Amino acid sequence: MSVFKIFDVTGAGMNAQMLRLNTVASNLANSETMAGRPEDVYKSRHPVFESVFNELTGDQGTVGVRVKEIIESDAAPIAHYMPQHPQANAEGYVYSPGINAVEQMADMIAASRSYQSNVEVMTTSKELLLRTLQLGRG
């Protein structure tokens, strides 16, 4: 495996964590939305990743990550009795998504730390390569 492949691997990891952060942000932004019918309620999304060998170069030693799918939560919507709400149904109920903000924040922290770890690996690798080049200069 080429020493430069580490940048491909960490870059793939950074892209994956950025997607994870974006889905968490979308879930948090829509956590307070209301709908008149349970079927119309926003469903939180969660990316599912898979590790893959590098198919492009045929190098079986290089592993990356990609999005396998983005799944929607099957959490039941929460009914709120709000007859004055403009989207209330005939019984006076509106529905909000069953999104747990604490879980979303924990997921955001984990994704952020994973992203930071990939940045650290990339920075350390760059520094090591530069020091190796300096050794060759004499």
Residue 92 lies in a domain: no
Residue 129 lies in a domain: yes
Residue 89 lies in a domain: no
Distance CA 95, CA 129 (A): 55
Distance CA 138, CA 125 (A): 21
Cβ(63)–Cβ(9) below 8 Å: yes
Cβ(95)–Cβ(41) below 8 Å: yes
80-112: b (≥16 Cβ within 10 Å) or e: eeeeeeeebeeeebbbbbebeeeebeebbeebe
Residue 20 lies in a domain: yes
Q: H-type helices in 1-138, by residue range? A: 5-29, 101-137
Residue 94 lies in a domain: no
Cβ(44)–Cβ(97) below 8 Å: yes
- The pLDDT value recorded for residue 4 is 74
- Rounded to two decimals, the pTM is 0.83
Domain count, the chain: 1
Residue 79 lies in a domain: no
**Domain enclosing residue 9, as ranges:** 5-33+43-74+100-137
Residue 28 lies in a domain: yes
- The pLDDT value recorded for residue 132 is 86
Burial of 27 from C-beta contacts in 10 A (0-12 / 13-18 / 19+): buried
pLDDT averaged per 10 residues, the chain (length 138):
78 93 97 93 94 66 82 94 93 94 96 96 92 82
Distance CA 27, CA 107 (A): 11
Residue 129 identity = L
- The pLDDT value recorded for residue 57 is 56
Residue 119 lies in a domain: yes
